[in-house]
Structure 1
Amino acid sequence: MRRFIALLLLLGLALAQGLEALWKAVEVPGGVCADGSPYRFYVSPGDPRKVVIDFQGGGACWDAATCGPQSQTYRKRVDVQELLLAQGIYNRLSVANPFHGWTHVFVPYCTGDLHVGRATVDYGGFKVHHQGARNALAALEYVFRNHTNPERVFVTGCSAGAYGAVFWADKVLATYKNAQVAVCGDAGVGVRTPDFPGFRVWNPRLPELPGLSQNPEVAEIYLVLAKAFPKARIAQYTTLLDGTQIFFYGLMKGERAPSEATAREWAEGAMRAVLAPAQAENYAFYLAPGGQHCILPRPELYTLKVGEVSFLEWLRALAEGRAAPRVRP
């Protein structure tokens, strides 16, 4: 047992040393996670003219049940397991990575508010700091200061990070008017119940886009964003029966485990959410079969193929500023 524990400690030390070799932590004065712990983001240096802005996923919470101290529905402090596992776009050493050699800015998520909250809420005996907007803005301002004239910028995120990407894309696009910018949400299509209280609770920072409604659906944001910035590439990815997105939709309905009817509702809503922005010529989507959640942090990024279109080449087209096809099974 002692030898086993010693091996685990050595493995942890090796991982930490490997992380530090590739990723620089940037502390954020005043940044805060849900539980009050300090916030930081990470930068892996590369070509300063090519920048990935990557919002981390990690669930969400919006009431005493989902936000409670024992809740497993959201991250409460900075956790960078994606960087440690080094799969998908986090495999910084792979030349097959579409972002090999780019500067990669990783924006951790620990506030339960899809990176947009501006509230500290007392849920009856405990407080949660929904201050995702403060943290995200600090990371973006760092990027803007250190990369004043990039050629390419790729804004993305998995799960809750997909919402962070599309909710903050307007600020990136408005700042980098001369760059080739692409925005790609991974597994965050925005299907929600009509009475979902999250955005009211979080007091969110909403995109500053002309014509956007006061309580916009995610599909509306994608459409308005694509029309406002016609030179940008705007895109979404999801599987048709994403188990995690279905779970959260069921949670909004009060179900601890989603029913078959809930899964069907989500799937129908997801199709509408992904296809609705397609009237914009610079919008693309990649729909894959199955129920896997997210692809950016997974090895499947390099192997998935729907019909004749590999996801890797689809993603590479976006990264290079080329038109990507609209893919569905």
Structure 2
Amino acid sequence: MKRLIGLFLFLVMALAQGLGPFWQEVQVPGGVCSDGSPYRFYVSPGDPKRVVLDFQGGGACWDAATCGPASQTYRKRVDPQELLLAQGIYNRMSIANPFFGWTHIFVPYCTGDLHVGQATVDYGGFRVHHQGARNALAVLEYLFRNHPQAERVFVTGCSAGAYGAVFWADKVLSTYKNAQVALCGDAGVGVATEDFPGFRVWNPRYPDLPGLSPRPQVAEIYAALARAYPKAAIAQYTTALDGTQIFFYGLMKGERTPSEATAREWAARALQAVTLPAQAQNYTFFLAAGSQHCILPRPELYTLKVGETGFLDWLRALSEGKVPPRVRP
């Protein structure tokens, strides 16, 4: 009964504020998924001055084997049904959600290029449209046009979406100079082999930040964002043995099933990648034990703790523009 009453009160409040738990589809003229199908994104309306910009995850591909029609390593088209199944920050009816009442802009992922590609590639008999940058830019234009007076903006994404978030955060930060902006990458720490060909294949859009090398590492981008925008809160989350990130690292090394040595190697490099930007006072991280991939779309968002620190409290502080303490097991 209490849950029914709570749901009724939420719906009454939502109607009063012009909100709703449903997602509205926005078409993108010229937007395209990897298989050539049309691209669109989704908006759940809320407070126009508080906005979540959320990049979807879904693997990646970079050669004929990983990009092939039968490959399961990346999303090929937009599936809006996934929004209805997600939990965590997608629970629009929970007042415990740090983003309850916010506008939530969801950036689907279907291009196999971490949201940054600017290429269409022939892999020998089939073509893949790595046009994530085109799609992401259309979403950003919508954000800037419809929320010019935003006071809080939270840029985030899980897995491949974590890369979308960090690679596009500079545009958000340079646009909302007087807003409280936070970035939180969820389970995308950027560990890759030295000869990983993905970025060369995708012809990516790199952030516009001073001091970046021509092909910057992800940790380098986090550090550069923190330096360039000292008033922003910059953060990462991952587990210490993230099974999905280890799987993709194994693929880069030619292992269909990652070896124990590969898992250990990834764990050591991931720890270095997460802690490397820590010289900046406005950078923080939450490192959890275990192998689970992503936290933001999961119910564990509300229950996970490392020591005495709950992830929910840590995330809520970020949503308020604060820089919570760094957390590790």
Q: 1 CA distance for matches of 2:289 and 2:273?
A: 16
Conservation of the 8 A alpha-carbon contact between 2:168 and 2:207: yes
**Structure 1 portions without partners, runs of 5+:** 1-19
Correspondences of 1:260-299 after superposition (within 5 Å) = 260-299=260-299
Q: 2 CA distance for matches of 1:30 and 1:115?
A: 15
Distance 1:175 1:38, change over 3 A: same
Conservation of the 8 A alpha-carbon contact between 1:82 and 1:90: no
Q: 1 CA distance for matches of 2:275 and 2:88?
A: 26
Q: In structure 2, what is the equivalent of residue 61 of structure 1?
A: 61
Q: 2 CA distance for matches of 1:108 and 1:147?
A: 20
Conservation of the 8 A alpha-carbon contact between 2:21 and 2:92: no
Q: In structure 1, what is the equivalent of residue 118 of structure 2?
A: 118
Q: 2 CA distance for matches of 1:206 and 1:95?
A: 36
Distance 1:82 1:90, change over 3 A: farther
Report the AA paired with residue 159 of structure 1.
S
Q: In structure 1, what is the equivalent of residue 138 of structure 2?
A: 138
Runs of 4+ with >6 A deviation: none
Q: 2 CA distance for matches of 1:65 and 1:291?
A: 26
Q: 2 CA distance for matches of 1:21 and 1:191?
A: 36
Correspondences of 1:208-219 after superposition (within 5 Å) = 208-219=208-219
Report the AA paired with residue 260 of structure 1.
E
Q: 2 CA distance for matches of 1:247 and 1:163?
A: 17
Conservation of the 8 A alpha-carbon contact between 1:86 and 1:92: no
Conservation of the 8 A alpha-carbon contact between 1:58 and 1:74: yes
CA deviation string 1:167-208 (max 9, x = no partner)? 000000000001000000000000000000000000000000
Q: In structure 1, what is the equivalent of residue 165 of structure 2?
A: 165
Q: 2 CA distance for matches of 1:231 and 1:267?
A: 30
Q: In structure 2, what is the equivalent of residue 233 of structure 1?
A: 233
**Structure 2 portions without partners, runs of 5+:** 1-19
Say if 2:28 is the partner of 1:38.
no
Conservation of the 8 A alpha-carbon contact between 2:53 and 2:154: yes
Q: 2 CA distance for matches of 1:82 and 1:123?
A: 29
Measured after TM superposition, the shift of residue 86 of structure 1 is 3.8
Question: So what's the TM-score if we normalise by structure 2?
Answer: 0.93
Q: 2 CA distance for matches of 1:266 and 1:79?
A: 31
Matched residue SS, 1:66: helix
RMSD: 0.8
Measured after TM superposition, the shift of residue 81 of structure 1 is 4.2
CA deviation string 1:233-252 (max 9, x = no partner)? 00000000000000000000
Q: 2 CA distance for matches of 1:169 and 1:285?
A: 17
Report the AA paired with residue 127 of structure 1.
R
Q: 1 CA distance for matches of 2:158 and 2:106?
A: 11
